[in-house]
């Protein structure tokens, strides 16, 4: 029998393998389920959800930092313009 993972698009294969490794960390839990295969899928979905939350947290942090940096640059430009107009 051919391993189905060999038929997966090469661009996705690395991500699939990573997700399978992460879901296997919950093996004790999903093996106790009525349907371990479905439980493993749910564990994988939970892992993806966790990754999305972590990425959103990082993205929010970066967005706030960019807003702060852009505010400082705008304030400096306005201050420079006011100062140069006063000197004339």
Q: What is the largest CA-CA distance in the chain?
A: 84
pLDDT of amino acid 84: 65
- Residue matched to tokens 């996705």: 12
Residue 43 pLDDT > 90: yes
Assigned domain for 2 exists: no
Q: Which domain holds residue 73?
A: 9-87
Q: What is the pTM for the complete model shown?
A: 0.70
- Residue matched to tokens 């140069």: 84
Assigned domain for 3 exists: no
Q: What is the pLDDT of residues 1-26, one digit of tens each?
A: 678 989 999 999 999 999 999 999 99
Q: What's the distance, CA 16 to chain centroid? A: 16
Total domains present in the chain: 1
Assigned domain for 69 exists: yes
Assigned domain for 45 exists: yes
pLDDT of amino acid 2: 75
Assigned domain for 1 exists: no
pLDDT of amino acid 87: 60
Please state, in angstroms and rounded to a whole number, the distance separating the CA atoms of residues 44 and 2: 23
């Amino acid at each position: 029998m051919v391993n189905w993972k060999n038929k997966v698009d090469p661009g996705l294969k690395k991500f699939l393998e990573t997700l399978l490794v992460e879901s296997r960390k919950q093996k004790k839990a999903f093996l106790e389920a009525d349907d371990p295969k479905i439980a493993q899928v749910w564990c994988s979905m939970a892992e993806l959800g966790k990754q999305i939350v972590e990425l959103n947290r990082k993205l929010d942090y970066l967005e706030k930092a960019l807003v702060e940096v852009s505010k400082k640059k705008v304030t400096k430009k306005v201050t420079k313009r006011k100062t140069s107009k006063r000197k004339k």
